[in-house]
Each structure stands twice: as structure tokens, then as C-alpha cells.
């Protein structure tokens, strides 16, 4: 039995350069028990999202990274190192491809057959690309999304008193896993009340330990009562309710619960990671393994009941959205005819941000020193003094967000902003303002790096939702621009057959070469988001491209 994994800290190198060392530390950090959901199985988050295919492959990746030259590139195929090739110093040190299957074969059955044979692994988004930072990563996106919900409710004339916060509202959601665990804190940061249904008591306890969740109960009645009292007193509160969402959502609907906002973040994208009603928690994984087809049918039937209740709340006037886990399509398969009556969160709230190339920008202090993140927080505020929304987030995050694993931060920045932050961090490494290099990356959920018709590219203006050329171009351009590692994945977030997406990470090691690479990668990466939205006909994207001097052939200007 191996002991817990923890990334090395401090300024001492185990590898032959910081680019390789950064990859090594971020891989290990993904499997730190503070960060990963099931590190003993190499599972980082998102149902079965893994950092390496198996322990032998993990050990081999670590070995290869420690000997890798600064003119070599390690190739990783679905979590297994398959080659070290001579490249050059501008090339990425690691190139990763996870879970990719040819179109007609791109389904869970085929994936699981290959997984059983030990030939493939599910990389989710930042699990297999080694830039997961725990719940904070999703907290920022969730904070953005619930902020947009609050503004929409205020603009609609309801809850005018709330002035764009969630004060006076009750949100109902489910799933307190790696991603979903951010929901309670995001809602209370906006002043609201949340009831979060979760079937696994350990997950509830974990969120309470990390102070993402305020309180817990096993009773639907007392959860509702506490929520109503808190709402009426305008007191932000999050309640973890132990139960199965497929049972509790319909029950709350039947009780005429005064719910204002409804969403869900169970691992619905993978039917084997959704607990069907009537199946005991302790039987979950045995039954899923024993008869995956039966389990899938049961899970889809339960998701249909779960989503029927969400549609019921919609009919009563609640704000209802799919939070990027594909529950609508699974529910449709389970027999829910009205599953797509409510929208996904991207077309509902996030697309205008994507038009500007805005999206998640995250960084981790390879030193392990929280003071380094505090210094970078100050640098971000100095760089963007007029961005009030950013100031509020960075300040609240500094106060409320505990670090998991290596200290890290995330905020959303757009095209023309990210490279400024990257260059400043690189200067801070060079000058010793921070005590070791900084890893800078992002989620694949971004403006130009993903094709996902049930999520990031749902309802594109020109109908181009399923065109996956864009994430592939994004990965190619990040490779050409000098990222430290680049990845192309399939199936993250929404499951097999439903998405293709790319990631990049750069190590700011304080060198002149790193500065030149950072400037290019952190300009070009969000640029692909603007290009993608200009191409799809979005006016704001065209204006951003014009204002910020992005050259786009075949446009009017």
C-alpha cells in the first residue's frame, strides 16, 4: 500500500528544469488527498476523471519527468507515458491526449470495453491534464454563474430589493463532489440560501470541513424549515441534505417548497457515477461493475424523475438551468420528454463573457507558500485596478477560500489581460518577490478551447455547436506558442461522445525565455475564444477583436 502523494515544495529541483518540475509537481498535486476525490484510485474529480492510467503508468511518468531534457517532449496517451522524443526548447515538455475515440466509437460502452482492457483512461478536463486545484477552481466559475443568475433575477423585476445578490432566495441543487462542492459557498458568497442534496455523507462532511458548507441534516422537512427562516432573516446559509436527488427533488416539489433557483451537479454525465433511487450507497460500485447496462438504465430512469421535478419547479416560475453535467440528455434517455425545457448555463449566462475571450485563469505556487499567492493576489489587483468584480472576488477568495494542496488562485480574465498577469508573475519569480516558479493554466471550460454542444457551445448563433476544429486549433496554437504542456481530451464534463476540449499550462520560471513563451501563449489562447465567437457571428466578439487589434481574415473591418 503506497502512502499519500504530496507535491514537493520549495526551490529545490528534482527534474532537469522548472518546466519539467512544474509538470511533476502539478501531477502529484492532482493526487494529493487534500485535492483529489479518490487518490487511491488515481481519481481526481468528476466521477472517474484520472491523473494517470494506473500506478505503474504514474510511476513511469514521474520517472520520465525527472530525467526529461529541456529539448525533449514526453508523450502521454490516456495517462500512460508512451514516448520521449527529441524536440526543442520552445516545444511543450509534455503532450497529452486523453480518452479520444473516433466518432462512431465515441460512447461509454466502447470506452469501458477499452478501459477494462487497460488501454484508455477518462481524463475529465483538468484531472488528466494536471491542473486541478480542488474546489476553488470551480468555485470561481460557480460564483460567476450565480452572480449572473442574481443579476438576471434582479433585472426581471423579481427580488429588486436584492440589488443583484441572491439575498432573499433559496437555491436547490444536488451533488457535493469535487465540482459540486463549490455550489454552497458560491450561493452564500452572493448572500443566498442553498439546499444541497447529496447521497454520500462523507462528501457532506468533507465540504463542511473545508468550510464550503455551513450545516447538514438528514430531514427534508428541517432542511426546508431552516432554509425558509434563513431566507426571511436575509441570512446566507448552506444546508447539506443527505438523500437521493431523484427522490428529494420530487418530494420538495410535492411539498410546494418555495424554491427560486434550481440546478444540479451530480456526476450525471456518467450514468455509473449517478446513484439511482433505491440503490444503497454501499452497493453502488459493486452493482455498477457487475451489470453496467442495468445500472445505466436505472440511473437514467432516476435522472428522468430528478429532471421532471426540475421542470416542475420551472413551471412554477423558478430559474432552472443545467449546470454542465448533461443531466438533460440522460433524463431524456430515461423517458423525460421535457428535459430540454430549461437551458444550459452557458447560453443562459456565460456566453457574453466568452465573446470577450474571458474565462478561467488559474495559477499555483510551486513553492507551496501561501505568501506567494497573497503576493500574486496583490499583483492582480494592481494590474486591473478598475475591475470591481475582480476586486470583490480576489478579496473574498483571500478571506474565505482554503487552499487544497499547493496554494493556488483563480480568476476570470479576458483576451489582452491574461498575458499581462503571466508576465507580471514571471517578473515576480525573477525578482524573488515570490519564492519559486508559478504554474499558470486554466480549465478546459473556456472561450475557445472546447466544443461541447450541451455546455460551452450549446446554441451557438450560427448552429456550429458540434464543430470540434476549434479546440484542436487551440491545442495546436498553444503548442506552437510555447506552452509547457498541452492536452487534447474527449468527453470531459458531459461524457463520452459529447465534447472535445484542450488545455494548456505554462510555467513562469522567471527566465527571459519563459516571458517570451508566456506572452504568446496567454495572448493566443484566449484569442482563439474571440476568433471562435467572431466566426459564429457574435457582435461583441467582433468589437473586441477590432478594439484589441486581433487580425481576422475575411471580416468586414
Question: Where is the binding site, in residues?
Answer: 46-47, 124, 178-180, 198, 203, 244-245, 265-269, 274-275, 323, 493
Report the 10 Å Cβ neighbour count for 395: 12
Segment 261 to 280, residues that bind ligand NAD, using CB under 6 A: 265-269, 273-275
Q: Which is nearer to ligand NAD, 323 or 412 (CB)?
A: 323
Nearest CA to 309 among 244, 259, 250, 261?
Answer: 250
Q: Mark out the alpha helices in 121-241 (DSSP H runs).
A: 135-155, 183-189, 201-209, 220-232
Q: Is 146 helix (H, G, I), strand (E, B) or coil?
A: helix
Using only C-alpha atoms, the chain has a radius of gyration, in whole angstroms, of: 22
Q: Does 325 bind ligand NAD (CB under 6 A)?
A: yes
Of the candidates 133, 199, 318, 460, which one interacts with ligand NAD according to CB under 6 A?
A: 199
User: First CA to last CA across the chain, in angstroms?
Assistant: 63
Query: Which set of grid coordinates corresponds to residue 534?
Result: 467572431
Please provide the size of the chain in residues. Answer: 557
Of the candidates 31, 121, 213, 246, which one interacts with ligand NAD according to CB under 6 A?
A: 246
Q: Does 344 bind ligand NAD (CB under 6 A)?
A: no
| Residues 389-428: x where in contact with ligand NAD by CB under 6 A, - otherwise, as a string | ----------------------------------------
Q: Which is nearer to ligand NAD, 46 or 422 (CB)?
A: 46
* 454 Cα distance to chain centroid: 15
Q: Measured between alpha carbons, how far is 540 from 505 in angstroms, rounded to an integer?
A: 27
- Supply the minimum distance, in Å, between the C-beta of residue 334 and ligand NAD: 12
Residue the block writes with cell 416539489: 253
- Supply the minimum distance, in Å, between the C-beta of residue 99 and ligand NAD: 13
Q: Which is nearer to ligand NAD, 91 or 496 (CB)?
A: 496
Among positive and negative, which fits the CA dihedral 512, 513, 514, 517?
A: positive
Count residues binding ligand NAD (CB under 6 A): 34
Q: Which is nearer to ligand NAD, 269 or 358 (CB)?
A: 269
427-433 contact pairs (CB < 8 A, 24+): 427/510, 427/515, 428/375, 428/376, 428/379, 429/508, 429/509, 429/510, 430/510, 430/511, 431/510, 433/375
Using CA atoms, how far residue 447 sits from 140, 305, 356, 525, 532, in Å, is 15, 33, 8, 9, 8
Q: Measured between alpha carbons, how far is 14 from 18 in angstroms, rounded to an integer?
A: 9
Q: Measured between alpha carbons, how far is 121 from 134 in angstroms, rounded to an integer?
A: 20
- Supply the minimum distance, in Å, between the C-beta of residue 13 and ligand NAD: 32
- Supply the minimum distance, in Å, between the C-beta of residue 237 and ligand NAD: 20
Q: Does 449 bind ligand NAD (CB under 6 A)?
A: no
| Residues 274-313: x where in contact with ligand NAD by CB under 6 A, - otherwise, as a string | xx--------------------------------------
Residues forming the annotated binding site for NAD(+)?
46-47, 124, 178-180, 198, 203, 244-245, 265-269, 274-275, 323, 493
Of 196, 199, 336, 411, which residue is the catalytic one?
411
- Supply the minimum distance, in Å, between the C-beta of residue 240 and ligand NAD: 10
List, in order, residues 6 or more apart from 145 with CB less than 8 Å away.
186, 323, 345, 349, 350
Q: Measured between alpha carbons, how far is 277 from 418 in angstroms, rounded to an integer?
A: 45
- Supply the minimum distance, in Å, between the C-beta of residue 446 and ligand NAD: 11
Q: Which is nearer to ligand NAD, 324 or 503 (CB)?
A: 324
Segment 87 to 146, residues that bind ligand NAD, using CB under 6 A: 138, 141
- Contact between 157 and 133 under an 8 Å Cβ cutoff? The reply is no
- Supply the minimum distance, in Å, between the C-beta of residue 247 and ligand NAD: 8
Three-state SS letters, 239-305: EEEECCHHHHHHHHHHCCCCCCEECCCCCCCCHHHCCCCCCCHHHHHHHHHHCHHHHHHHHHHHHHH
- Supply the minimum distance, in Å, between the C-beta of residue 454 and ligand NAD: 11
- Supply the minimum distance, in Å, between the C-beta of residue 224 and ligand NAD: 17
Query: Which set of grid coordinates corresponds to residue 396?
Result: 473574498
Q: Which is nearer to ligand NAD, 15 or 245 (CB)?
A: 245
Q: Does 42 bind ligand NAD (CB under 6 A)?
A: no
- Contact between 21 and 366 under an 8 Å Cβ cutoff? The reply is yes
- Supply the minimum distance, in Å, between the C-beta of residue 312 and ligand NAD: 17
Stretch near ligand NAD under the rule CB under 6 A, chosen from 10-18, 92-100, 232-240, 317-325: 317-325
Q: Does 200 bind ligand NAD (CB under 6 A)?
A: yes
Segment 148 to 177, residues that bind ligand NAD, using CB under 6 A: 174-177
Q: Which is nearer to ligand NAD, 418 or 455 (CB)?
A: 455
Query: Residue 135 — left, alpha, or beta (φ > 0 → left; ψ -120 to 50 → alpha)?
Result: alpha
* 323 Cα distance to chain centroid: 11
Q: Which is nearer to ligand NAD, 99 or 367 (CB)?
A: 99
Q: Does 245 bind ligand NAD (CB under 6 A)?
A: yes
Q: Which is nearer to ligand NAD, 180 or 414 (CB)?
A: 180
Report the 10 Å Cβ neighbour count for 557: 7
Stretch near ligand NAD under the rule CB under 6 A, chosen from 107-115, 187-195, 199-207, 478-486: 199-207
Q: Which is nearer to ligand NAD, 266 or 523 (CB)?
A: 266
Nearest CA to 261 among 198, 302, 310?
Answer: 310
**Number of residue whose CB is nearest ligand NAD:** 177
Q: Does 45 bind ligand NAD (CB under 6 A)?
A: yes
Q: Measured between alpha carbons, how far is 372 from 510 in angstroms, rounded to an integer?
A: 14
Segment 472 to 511, residues that bind ligand NAD, using CB under 6 A: 493
In the residue annotation, 15 being an active-site residue is answered as no
Positions that interact with ligand NAD (CB under 6 A): 37, 45-47, 138, 141, 174-180, 197-200, 203, 244-246, 265-269, 273-275, 323-325, 445, 493
Give the active site residues: 411
Amino acid at each position: 500500500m503506497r502512502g499519500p502523494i504530496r507535491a514537493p515544495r520549495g526551490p529545490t529541483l528534482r527534474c532537469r528544469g522548472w518546466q519539467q518540475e512544474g509538470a511533476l509537481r502539478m501531477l502529484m498535486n492532482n493526487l494529493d488527498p487534500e485535492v483529489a476525490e479518490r487518490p487511491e484510485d488515481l481519481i481526481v474529480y468528476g466521477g472517474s476523471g484520472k491523473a494517470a492510467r494506473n500506478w505503474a503508468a504514474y510511476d513511469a511518468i514521474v520517472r520520465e519527468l525527472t530525467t526529461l531534457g529541456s529539448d525533449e517532449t514526453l508523450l502521454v496517451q490516456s495517462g500512460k507515458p508512451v514516448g520521449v522524443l527529441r524536440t526543442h526548447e520552445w516545444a511543450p515538455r509534455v503532450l497529452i491526449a486523453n480518452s479520444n475515440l473516433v466518432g462512431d466509437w465515441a460512447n461509454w460502452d466502447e470506452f469501458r470495453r477499452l478501459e477494462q482492457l487497460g488501454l484508455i483512461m477518462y481524463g475529465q478536463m483538468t484531472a488528466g491534464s494536471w491542473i486541478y486545484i480542488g474546489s476553488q477552481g470551480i468555485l470561481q466559475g460557480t460564483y460567476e454563474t450565480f452572480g449572473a443568475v442574481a443579476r438576471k433575477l434582479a433585472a426581471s423585476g423579481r427580488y429588486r430589493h436584492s440589488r443583484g445578490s441572491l439575498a432573499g432566495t433559496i437555491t436547490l441543487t444536488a451533488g457535493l463532489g469535487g465540482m459540486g462542492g463549490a455550489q454552497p459557498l458560491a450561493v452564500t458568497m452572493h448572500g443566498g440560501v442553498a439546499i444541497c442534496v447529496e447521497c454520500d455523507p462523507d462528501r457532506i462532511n468533507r465540504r463542511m470541513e473545508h468550510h464550503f458548507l455551513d450545516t447538514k441534516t438528514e430531514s427534508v422537512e428541517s432542511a426546508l424549515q431552516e432554509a425558509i427562516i434563513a431566507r426571511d432573516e436575509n441570512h446566507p446559509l448552506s444546508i447539506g441534505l443527505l438523500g437521493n436527488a431523484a427522490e428529494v427533488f420530487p418530494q420538495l416539489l410535492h411539498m410546494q417548497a418555495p424554491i427560486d433557483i434550481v440546478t444540479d451537479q451530480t456526476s450525471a454525465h456518467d450514468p455509473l457515477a449517478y446513484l439511482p433511487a433505491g440503490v444503497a450507497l454501499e452497493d453502488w460500485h459493486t452493482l455498477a461493475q457487475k451489470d453496467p447496462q442495468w445500472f445505466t438504465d436505472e440511473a437514467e430512469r432516476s435522472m428522468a424523475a430528478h429532471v421532471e421535478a426540475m421542470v416542475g419547479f420551472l413551471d412554477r416560475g423558478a430559474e432552472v438551468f443545467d449546470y454542465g453535467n448533461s443531466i438533460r440528455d440522460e433524463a431524456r434517455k430515461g423517458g423525460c420528454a421535457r428535459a430540454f425545457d430549461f437551458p444550459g448555463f452557458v447560453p443562459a449566462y456565460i456566453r457574453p463573457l466568452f465573446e470577450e475571450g474571458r474565462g478561467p485563469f488559474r495559477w499555483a505556487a510551486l513553492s507551496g507558500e501561501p505568501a506567494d499567492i497573497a503576493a500574486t493576489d496583490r499583483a492582480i489587483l494592481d494590474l486591473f485596478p478598475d475591475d470591481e468584480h475582480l476586486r470583490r472576488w480576489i478579496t473574498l477568495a483571500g478571506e474565505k477560500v482554503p487552499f487544497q494542496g499547493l496554494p493556488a488562485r483563480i480568476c476570470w480574465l479576458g483576451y489582452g489581460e491574461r498575458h499581462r498577469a503571466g508576465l507580471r508573475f514571471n517578473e515576480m519569480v525573477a525578482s524573488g518577490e515570490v519564492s519559486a516558479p508559478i504554474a499558470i493554466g486554466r480549465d478546459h471550460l473556456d472561450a475557445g478551447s472546447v466544443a461541447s454542444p450541451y455546455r460551452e457551445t450549446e446554441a451557438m448563433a450560427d448552429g456550429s455547436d458540434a464543430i470540434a476544429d476549434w479546440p484542436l486549433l487551440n491545442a495546436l496554437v498553444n503548442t506552437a506558442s510555447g506552452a509547457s504542456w498541452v492536452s487534447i481530451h474527449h468527453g470531459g464534463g458531459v461524457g463520452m461522445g459529447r465534447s472535445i476540449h484542450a488545455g494548456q499550462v505554462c510555467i513562469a520560471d522567471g527566465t527571459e525565455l519563459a516571458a517570451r513563451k508566456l506572452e504568446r501563449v496567454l495572448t493566443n489562447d484566449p484569442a482563439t475564444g474571440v476568433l471562435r465567437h467572431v466566426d459564429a457571428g457574435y457582435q461583441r466578439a467582433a468589437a473586441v477583436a477590432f478594439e484589441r487589434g486581433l487580425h481576422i481574415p475575411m471580416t468586414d473591418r
